[in-house]
Chain A
Amino acid sequence: MKRTMNLLIALVMVIVLIGGCAKTVESEETTAKDETNDEAVVSTDKEEPAETADPVTIKFFTGKVETVDLMNDLIDKFNAANPGIIVQQEFQKDASNVIKVKFASGDVPDITTVVTQDYIDQGKYLDLTNEVWWDRIDPAIRDLCTDVKTGNQYRVASNMTMAGLYYNKEIFEDLGLGEATTWAEFENDLTKIKDNYSDVAPFFMGGKDSWMLGHLIEFMAHGVIKQELGIKESKIALLANDDSKIHLGDVGGPMESFAAAILSTRDKGLFNSDFLTATYDNQIEAFAMGKAAVISQGMWALGGILEMNPEMTGNIGFMPYPSIKEGTKPVILSAEDSAYAITTDSEHPAEAKKFLDYLFEVNNMVTYSEFVKSPSAFTDVSADWGPLKDEVAHALAAGIHIGFTNESPSGFSGDDAGRMVQELYVGEYESSEAFAKAYKETWDKAWNASNN
């Protein structure tokens, strides 16, 4: 009896000790604000990384699921070539929310792809305006990375991406369909597809993944604002919640037109029947297998589609989003992608920059661009980034260029917006006006919370 008791006590002590040792290891790596770490910062800044005894850990936090594996490969090569530095990638699907927790807890990543206006305003990211990378980057991209409030760049984008409507060329040619410029035309085309191809979903959306629906809002609904005001003005108006310019709650405004379009398409049965439970992966699969005629996606999806069915290569068409409001034109997303920021709380900015230097090397950028199938922002990188080069060029010429909406208030994410679209689809709102009003209400509430 005594022995078992002693054994148990010993076990408890061992566990606590192990736990304690684990703790000391963790606290060496985490960026807690205490003196020992301050000393470490000073010494690594002054010395070459190779000279310090402990390797420097760089935490890279990303929300981009498609690039996780590729980045890990690149990271492994970097780590091997730089023995004093260890880069670790962490992926979270809900990255834009998780990063708030990270900042609050002191578990701050060194490099991240998640950049929000709130945090820029609070000075959480290093000012990268004077980095050498910009010399090799297309000035138009540099513009897109510029913070409208300060005129500085807090993030560097390595690629451009486009988003619009992918369509199955075969089906379109078979039915003699062109590229619709208005939503009404578009619905007509979809109806023809529905009538002639009974087991193909005319317009397939993965409604369970609210971010996808959030994108529809960013591109189609906000697209109205962005083209009417111009890119820079629209950013300013959105940030200031200037209702006289953005008209969020109005009939005939962007949100109402958007809701009306969605409701109309739904009522005509032109969406996939499992709109609410289908996911991004379902959508990609459906399109790759020819079971979906049109999908709304970005270039980031191309890799997945072709991996599933390489024969789709010649069969993918790409067109801008038809306009949803009288007097507006089709829009296409042409924006910066794969942007990286370094946090001010990072204790190893030099090493972080070294990693970015490595990442931005020409051959790595070629590999990256070809993988994500989108053009590089670097002028000296010519990658064969994809079979859709022609289609994309054509679509870019056919639509007004708009960017992502980075100006949403921090309590109202793309995910939240997407959920409102789910509610819209289910019939929670009696009319498209009701949707517009609810959207404005939610936007205002979130905006007031972060701007009081």
Chain B
Amino acid sequence: MEDDFYWFWLCNISGIGCMKIKAIIGSLNDAKTAYNASESVLCNIKGLHHGDVDKIIKSKDNVHIYNAYVKMCHTNVQFVHIKNDKYPSKLKQLYDSPPCLYVRGKLPSENRVSVAIIGARNCTEYGRSVAAMLGEHFAHMGIQVISGMAAGIDTAGHKGCLAGDGYTYAVLGCGVDICYPSQNIELFTNIIHNGGVLSEYPLGTKPISANFPVRNRIISGLADIVVVVEAKKKSGSLITVDLALEQNKEVMAVPGRIGDILSEGCNELIKQGAMVITNPEDIKFSSFLTKWIKNSEMGKTDLKYSIKNQYEKINVLASEKNMLYSLLDLCPISLEEIVRKSGLDIQSTIEILLELQLNGYIKEVGHNRYIRNSL
């Protein structure tokens, strides 16, 4: 406990970021030693300026840090510093690993595969449904889903994973006591119960835009594989991809149609050599998973997913239903278009669509727009 405070102190000195903390720990090995270190010792540390040393010395008298620590102890937020046993080993390998994490719920399990689902905030229904579908199937496979709880793809990925009774983890760009975006409050609480919400920022940190690209390195750092669902040519998701590649993680992309602005980023990634993912099963063919499956003792893997033939159940549909079903895909199609393409009259089309919907084959997204529920 006492140790925790020293770490908390070290991580909350204003002007001392993760690189400087890394330098301090590199030479002094511990936060407590740093606290007790004299000015001259600190001055000798490579990477610290005089000003920094000044700040460190002064911060020892700072009541606010102590108060914040006491306040945090009264909440259910866990404080995990880099020397803590719970600290994810994957993050230690980062060049700029966060010195500490604030966690609500749990941290991702080290024994399971983690996949990050990332993508645009202003996504299409197609992206949303693909992300949700991937999340759900990954959950069935026993894969943990990591994302950033932003609107759009992130939210859909989390929700899909929760729908599949899986564990999902959200890395925030604000304090873990703040739900951003606020309409995700239900998701936020669900994630805490079925996984965890974590952040490198102290409690009460506002969601300022500068924080978000920085936290992306944690998302990719925690993941073994990064799946990009929808991204524009210039987007935050591609920053995460760059970080993931720097961290030597595998990147997979969901292909899109040529000309779709929101798929340009993904298609570009594929062009550059990213693996294509068109089916949740594809994740198994990633080199990480093939290795992982081989390494884990036969039959004792957490990858418990059995191949289900999605097409099997469709064949039992009556011919008209089958025809309407075959008109649909993951891009929402309007009722108007379905009527036109099928040649059926409006009333019977609506009736069949409702039946398909109630039986879980298709979904209505937005008003009178339908997509398939799965591939």
Mutual binders A and B: no
